[in-house]
Structure 1
Amino acid sequence: MKKSYYILVLLPLLVFSISTNAQDFLYGDPLPDAPELSARGEYSVGVGTYDMLNPDQVDILNSKDGNDPLYDRPLTVEIWYPSALPVNVKATTTYNEVMGTRGDTLRPLVPFTFKGRAVRDAVPLKKEGGFPLVIVSHGYVGSRYLMTYLTENLASKGYIVAAIDHTDSTFKDANAFQSTLLNRALDIRFVLNQMESLGSSKSKDLLKGLIDADNTAIIGYSMGGFGVLNVAGAGYSDAFAGFTVGMTGGSKAIGIHSASNPEYQKMVDPRIKAVVAFAPWGMERGVWDAEGLKGLKTPTLFIAGSEDDISGYEKGIKAIYQGAVNADRYLLTYMGARHNVAPNPPPAESLQPGLHIDEYYRYADSTWDQRKINNVNQHFVTAFIGTHLKQKDFKKYLDVQSDSNEKNWAGFKPRSSTGMELLHSAPTE
């Protein structure tokens, strides 16, 4: 009887302990089967919010009869960075987000918050030569907080990470699609230049001297993938440029980024050393053709779901991968997954009865555990950009057999690397 008594007393304590630990699990934390490079790095993380203004931009939402009015385009950018705090200091911050969208469907905005492992406005860690730069571009619709599992993780590994709120494309301010088509590439280029200025020797910002913009990776998801590919050299097709004239009041502004435009060819930025494109949109809509994809020469990691029903897979993302013949490139595929291979897991608030299912499906995949996807993304993005921005030897993690079911992939725990494919193609030139 005495033994039974102690068991009954300890059981609630055990349940309480498990429950408490579960509550401490934040986005991006490693699951028990997380691959090796998904673990956070050696640095604690600081985070700050920056408001930027890009002057004299084409106001394509008000273009008419081929005339393009101009406006000063506002952008909000969240920046994560290695901080001077000891790594064992408990670092937490709260991110304020909304569900819903003010776009065509006009679903009401539902505010929610979630925690992250960073300290707001912490003193940055000083480092001679600074840290490589990563710029992150979200989907349509989305926000700068859509991939905090990745942005925090990369900052902890010694990167400055800037995630953009693309005006007219966020949950809060979604507007007509032509703004997204025009401004993705422009926003990314502008933020890269702004980040270089923030880190310059003449800067008065706390990040002065800490941003190595000459070693930059650009990461995009969905429409963000559309944007980063164009910034990196994949010019739009003439057919796509012609189509957009009709939907933009006669504006030819989008066509400036076409492969056939000699001025576009001069826009390829040597500071960009690596590209990560999650589920990039556009191939099935004629955005790119063979000639345009030849312009992509920057090493690129594509990440996709084999059942992507937004960007398409065989005739969409995989076709981009196959057509980018002049880039050293990888294609990581989650077999059976759909489009959502990049976001954070669904917030608890998305489970509330009565909400539109799209609040859940902005984040969740119908087949895969999103936390598993997050950990695998952390692993492969770390290996890929670490190779090109830090010259680390991560070859064994990238050069694995294509079918993950045949043999355990390097860095994965036994029996954990199933249901994936990793293809690699070298450039032809």
Structure 2
Amino acid sequence: MRTIAEINEKITSQRAVVLTVEELKARVAEIGVAKAAKEVDVVTTGTFEPMESSGAIINLGHTDPPIKIRRCWLDGVPAYSGFGAVDLYIGASCPADAIDGEEIKERGGGHVIEDLIAGKAVQLRAQGQVTDCYPRATFETTIMRETINQFYLFNPRNLYQNFIVGVNGGDRPLFTYLGPLQPRLGNAVYSNPGAISPLLNDPNLEVVGIGTRIFLGGGIGYVAWEGTQHFPLQKRLANDTPIGPSATLALIGDAKHMDARWVRGCYFKSYGPSLMLGVGVPIPVLSEKVVEHCAVLDKDLVAPIVDFSIPRRVRPTFGLVSYAQLKSGRVTIEGKTVRVAPLASLYLSRQVALELKNWIEAGTFTLTEPVSPVPMERSFIPQDRWTEF
């Protein structure tokens, strides 16, 4: 029906018809897939959820005399320094070390990244490997977004295409990456926003690929590669959507142009720090099939209910549940009514899609052709070696 070049011409002249994915679903219900496909040019999706496999590359610039950093802390959070002399990588889920014997509670790399994006000062402490060309042994300073060179997010695994629902069938509380799970099926937590989630609306990754321009943390980012733990061969329903964790994407974007509203450090009690991140993906309407996929509803998407009380890689499940049931706030597990809460912010996920829509309508955000498709034949290799507990 259309090409991305044709859609971009309409975007730059502010003639493109852009709907959020929720608006598109409502429009399809009114006029059907075929008419909606003729009417709409771009569909915007969004999510705002914890994405702990995220981090930032930072280049400090050289000191005088120069230093070859080999150990480094940003506000007490260790940063990896095993490559260029003043290049650093800080992981969102890395916890802060104790300073002078005093523990820094509930703070990690995600909070440092948020502070730098917000324009706040961050303390840097570095130890160097002394060489003839890098004679300096230590360095301490305060850095800000404006006083460093490159500062960009490079996230190995974001945008899970579906995920799990966590419950606890045991006798004690569990503290997990989904938050606290109460014993004896006291609660259930899910993290994917369901029918508004980016990759559930392009289940076979037919329009989203390597090089796709996206909304990342309030700035512009790109799909850099397949994400770690990318598992597109997950079992799928007849509508092509996976029944559990499936495809993932690696994302990259200039953090100097991001907004701390969409990049927030967070902390899970007795688990550790993470990063709440807003990501929006535009889906160009290139065919009726694109609209058919984007019309999927929460009642037609499912996730597995997983029991975290079993300390194994493969945990037992209580079957599948639809996102419509999850969003009702209650599910029934083995005859028991269990209260449910989302880990993703459904409100902010909608706001991401709306913000991206506004950018496209204003002509300030155009679409890109993928330079390569994301592989859809990756298997998942576990490390099943027996170890002593």
TM-score by length of 1: 0.20
Higher relative contact order, chain-length normalized (CA < 8 Å, sep 6+): 2
Higher helix residue share: 1
As a proportion of its length, which structure holds more strand? 2
TM-score by length of 2: 0.22
